[in-house]
Amino acid sequence: MEAIHTLEEGLKVIGAFCKLVLEAVSILCIVLGFLITFVGGVRAKKFINLRLQFGVWLSLALEFQLAADIMATTLSTNLKDLVKLVILALVRTFLNFFLQREIKEEIEIKQKRLEKIAEATE
């Protein structure tokens, strides 16, 4: 029985470390995305391209945050914490869903414009 308890404690430590790493990667994605977008913004001609670029980075960060939430859910035994984690995971999932949809729509609009330009030059 003591071996199972030791394994359980070890799993909690590994899980907590993984959660911390996932959250750190999420923050790194946001910071990197901001820096790349900011530097690109100095040279950019269109704001929409910057929004798309930064949106992709934010979406990636949300994916890592969601993974960290899932990790935290597996570690939590408290019902109150589980409810908080589920709500956070749902909010992040919805945010990511709508962000992905907006990015997809903007890319489709951009492709249609390029197709019209290509047709006009033929």
pTM over 0.85: no
As to burial, measured by CB atoms within 10 angstroms (0-12 exposed, 13-18 middle, 19+ buried), residue 120 is: exposed
Q: What is the pLDDT of residues 49-79, one digit of tens each?
A: 788 888 889 999 999 998 998 888 877 778 8
In contact, 19 and 75? CB cutoff 8 Å: yes
Q: What is the pLDDT of residues 31-52, one digit of tens each?
A: 999 998 888 776 766 777 788 8
Summarize the confidence of residues 84-92 as an average pLDDT: 84
